[in-house]
Structure 1
């Protein structure tokens, strides 16, 4: 009997030791996979927690919008969230690949989703639409969301966002008569502030590769045919929340062709 007790005691001790060894490993793995979100260097403690989806950091919708100072309304029938801060409005819908920032349409890399009853939205898209810079640190799996205070840099951020929007792509396709375009980059050439500092005229160039539908013996293919550079001007303004917003929508901007040449494939 004493031998049996010793065996049982040894078995229990072994199992307990194994559990002690496993638990720290599990906790460590959970900590390693956790996403840390900092807004203006303040660590956010959100429940439910952020996660990665298709390479994008997804965060709880209401927590992010309210932290950024937005008022949020939710349309349950359309499963659409609308967040408003001064003159800025952002609308996103569950499983829809486009979003609206005021009157400008944007294509999303990852769609908002419902996870265990909570709505999650892409952190980078919303933060950049709100005028912030977003940086990912792979070594500690953290995201830094920072708001620039310099007006010139904030206007640069706004123009960069707009030229990657679906509305700008559609406007560029219309101007170039292309069936597809590739935005190779923009350069802000001039920002002219008015005396009040509340409005500005922006002049920038956009380097665009234009593709067109070409018929051949295999059917129709979309192929690049030319490269163009347009000089574009638009107006922006600053609202009561000190955020710079687009006053001229992409379809109404002034486009002047500065350069045009046949597409040369360097590959």
Structure 2
């Protein structure tokens, strides 16, 4: 009986050791995963062609999170924060958005909407999902992989001195869709490749040349001098041509 009891106690001790080791390993993996998911970003942001100044931003689950106050004020919104409830409020153009730190739910104009991730504190500052906060206020978002720039295009009415505009040309089916366009001086033109082969855009007069773009990649140019800019794809010149007229 003593021998059996000793064996039982040894087995029990061994099981406890294994359980502790397993719990330690799970804890280690969890911490590692959390650290891996939060990465400081080097992406640049532009609103209607002008740089949007932010002290820092982070990639969380491959989504760009930005400091809500600096970002919201940069797009012309008013912000407030309630410490008691950890609630964030952003107002612009008659629309009010309520966020809560730690929650992925947003209240947009009284209706519930879900974000890709919760508003959260990083280095004592509140960070929110940049695309969500842009699009709820009618701002389009385009990412240029080649320059690692997020282009924000507002839908506001033109002012007396309007900001430079942004235009889009889609490369698809070996064509520049919307490729023959007229733009204002200082406008930015974004080329996005949706084909499964590489394409680019090269001006006949040598004024610009976008690098070869793979599927889903974008490249942009800004034209300030009036005139006609004929361009082509370097790899498919005979089939892919277009003209940008700057006025």
Tell me which interval the TM-score lies in, with the shorter structure as reference length: 0.3 to 0.5
- TM-score calculated relative to the size of structure 1: 0.42
- TM-score calculated relative to the size of structure 2: 0.45
More helix by share: 1
